[in-house]
Structure 1
């Protein structure tokens, strides 16, 4: 699904516009078709994330990606032509158990260090929530550089991922053999492989969103903004029929003073278990490599069961995909479930979008949701509902932390129903 033109022309939120106008600030669309708007937005975005100022070539490349998004800048006429705050959003499909749901993805959230503590970030985030709700989109998502900010807007950490470091000299390989073969590939083919494989494989795990061409070109070392582009190598796996079923982009860096190297995996995307086993074997048994590392892997990656010494793998699980439910009935009814339940749920939402008491009936894997005046059996906030929505966070764990209250049997039945068979995954940043 490409971003629809109407998403790019969604008007700015009038409430946020009013709040910022009262501060003497102009809150408006930054039009990527206008050179001054595009340059100012892209350079302010880089400044906000403490990145280097992009070259003209890098800015032109980024501009192509941003054309598909609804970009908003906040301008202070006393501070020059660049915006002093930025945000963008676009409609995308997110995989959920049993299907997909429309999601509003938010990115490029920055506020200049010269304009902090004025409520600008709140106006940006709440404005995006109101815009998505007005457009009828039931769910909002983002990835974050700071994990302490977004709960106040109703986001919950819903899709954790694993960062893996592998001591390849200590692992040993015990994985089952695969019938296909591995081949090195050029960067252009690698970008094509990654793009196709991501779209083909993303339905297998909840939490995945659609990618975009610029993402795969950067992973494959084709981006002019990538300082490590010349280091990028690619390998893909062909099954017994000669069809590409998996691909990996990586770099190799020498470990100082050792004459040995670390293999740094940029991404692994596979359609089949055989493809994943073949790529992991390539990593673990690579000549002159003592260590391999990768981020954004699912928390149930089978690599631990492909090696003889699991202690040679260091796993660090961290938050990555954050979700925010706006429309409770639409969100809950969009996915499938693993167990039956019939529970009255009170959802508390200070911003009002998801607030209400809802009867959730789940039978034969499908849910129906309706507003009710009945006494709630389970009470939770929108943060907690959003955290469990993708199926990776057990409701029982949140209850044990005191984040969910109610009848223990009702909580347990909802916890069983919401859990996904495979751990959710978000394999990209956005």
Structure 2
């Protein structure tokens, strides 16, 4: 439960004025108004989806309609006209790193989640995307949010607005016959589950598991319906299967959603993991073993896996596990002191840090004094020990990217000892993980 309803946040006046100068109307789209279905169709067009069916349109009224929707419309557009650009947003919890040596649920911070960013091909190069993204950041900051986030289809766009790639994941392909299995035996039992029940299980597990790793966000019913193949218009719905993992006490500790497709011959089919969630290492190992040892499967594919997954150490030949790092979760700091105070730390550090922000939202210099896993952050007018842009700060804030690596790339400057100390403090164990698209 969040304290802010994004739908109550008005359209950003600066973006509205800038687009009005170009003859474009930037405005909030009401879920019960004439603009809603055209807005939904425009999102589908932007992501190259087919025209929605009546069932999909009806379903949209209970999914994206719960979000704050902004549309950009052409000159003198009539009610019900298709927008030329879209964006939607909502507030959701973001899990942050905890202090080293302190077990239990990790801290959280409310995040402005952004999705549905589209601009029609007929309206490129008119400053629309800039107005949309900057408008979201100004609106979120004005509403009192300290951080924003999104997942992206194009990785070259969002850095210019201060977003940083913060939560890398791995996309995995496994040659099953070559991989073998050497993982330990567990007392986990597996069972197939029907898809409607699978939707419920995925939501329940996600809410428990997301507090175990930084970088994850709250889920939503339509995400689980899409993964389980029960959402209207699902292309693989009838082929989607689900398996749950129970511990010795009979409690559900994990779930695997997958689709099988034909390979080169009858003994080399492909098992495509659509989602794997596990609350315990034993449940995760049991689900991986099920996938790798599945009859007639030669290849297992799985996206959005944590970068520190135990899988390569559970198989005979780790080279049979092809791992490709993917920039999945992007974050954007809006309030430097609040974000740095909200998370825990792995080591002590004390440095004066200057953050540059072209939008002026997170500009400033602060003394960051970290002791006992917590940070005191106070404004400072002295010379900075460390200087970096808001994009770089956003990349390191949940511990998924090394401050030292960014310094080596020339993206962070300052005193080497101060950078090293902050780098050690910002690290996270376990590694951050974002398990869904949003």
State the Cα distance separating 1:353 from its structure 2 match.
0.9
Preserved CA contact (<8 Å) 1:3 1:69: no
| Corresponding residue to 1:390 among 390, 395, 398 | 398
1:170 corresponds in structure 2 to 178
State the Cα distance separating 1:2 from its structure 2 match.
5.6
2:134 corresponds in structure 1 to 126
1:248 corresponds in structure 2 to 256
1:228 corresponds in structure 2 to 236
Q: Taking structure 1 as reference, are residues 109 and 3 closer, same or farther at Cα in structure 2, changes over 3 Å only?
A: farther
State the Cα distance separating 1:63 from its structure 2 match.
2.6
Root-mean-square deviation (Å): 1.2
State the Cα distance separating 1:188 from its structure 2 match.
1.1
Structure 2 distance, partners of 1:238, 1:122, is: 48
Structure 1 distance, partners of 2:24, 2:127, is: 12
State the Cα distance separating 1:269 from its structure 2 match.
0.6
1:52 corresponds in structure 2 to 50
1:70 corresponds in structure 2 to 68
Q: Residues 214-363 of structure 1 correspond to what in structure 2 (within 5 A)? A: 214-363=222-371
Preserved CA contact (<8 Å) 1:3 1:90: no
Task: Kindly provide the CA deviation profile for residues 263-295 of structure 1, in whole angstroms up to 9, marking residues without a partner as x.
Answer: 000000111111001101101111100000000
Structure 2 distance, partners of 1:392, 1:224, is: 35
State the Cα distance separating 1:50 from its structure 2 match.
1.3
Task: Kindly provide the CA deviation profile for residues 50-108 of structure 1, in whole angstroms up to 9, marking residues without a partner as x.
Answer: 11111111122123111221001011146770100000111110000120011100000
1:8 corresponds in structure 2 to 7
1:415 corresponds in structure 2 to 423
Query: Structure 1 length normalisation: TM-score?
Result: 0.98
| Corresponding residue to 1:37 among 30, 35, 44 | 35
1:107 corresponds in structure 2 to 115
Preserved CA contact (<8 Å) 1:42 1:63: no
Stretch of structure 1 that moved more, 47-56 or 114-123: 47-56
Structure 2 unaligned regions, length at least 5:
99-106
1:28 corresponds in structure 2 to 27
The number of residue pairs the alignment matches comes to 428
1:96 corresponds in structure 2 to 96
Structure 1 unaligned regions, length at least 5:
none
Preserved CA contact (<8 Å) 2:170 2:323: yes
Is the aligned partner of 1:199 residue 2:207?
yes
Partner SS, residue 275 of structure 2: strand
State the Cα distance separating 1:389 from its structure 2 match.
0.5
Partner SS, residue 397 of structure 1: helix
Displacement over 6 Å in runs of 4+: none
Structure 1 distance, partners of 2:370, 2:144, is: 24
State the Cα distance separating 1:133 from its structure 2 match.
0.3
Task: Kindly provide the CA deviation profile for residues 370-410 of structure 1, in whole angstroms up to 9, marking residues without a partner as x.
Answer: 11111100111111100000111110000111111111100
2:169 corresponds in structure 1 to 161
Preserved CA contact (<8 Å) 1:3 1:68: no
Structure 1 distance, partners of 2:301, 2:61, is: 31
Partner SS, residue 238 of structure 2: helix
Task: Kindly provide the CA deviation profile for residues 214-259 of structure 1, in whole angstroms up to 9, marking residues without a partner as x.
Answer: 1111111111121111100000001000010000110000114445
Partner SS, residue 62 of structure 2: helix
Structure 1 distance, partners of 2:342, 2:3, is: 20
Preserved CA contact (<8 Å) 1:237 1:247: yes
Structure 2 distance, partners of 1:78, 1:258, is: 59
Preserved CA contact (<8 Å) 2:71 2:84: yes
Structure 2 distance, partners of 1:159, 1:83, is: 32
| Corresponding residue to 1:404 among 389, 396, 412 | 412
Structure 2 distance, partners of 1:270, 1:41, is: 36
Structure 2 distance, partners of 1:78, 1:304, is: 58
State the Cα distance separating 1:139 from its structure 2 match.
0.2
Structure 2 distance, partners of 1:217, 1:110, is: 23
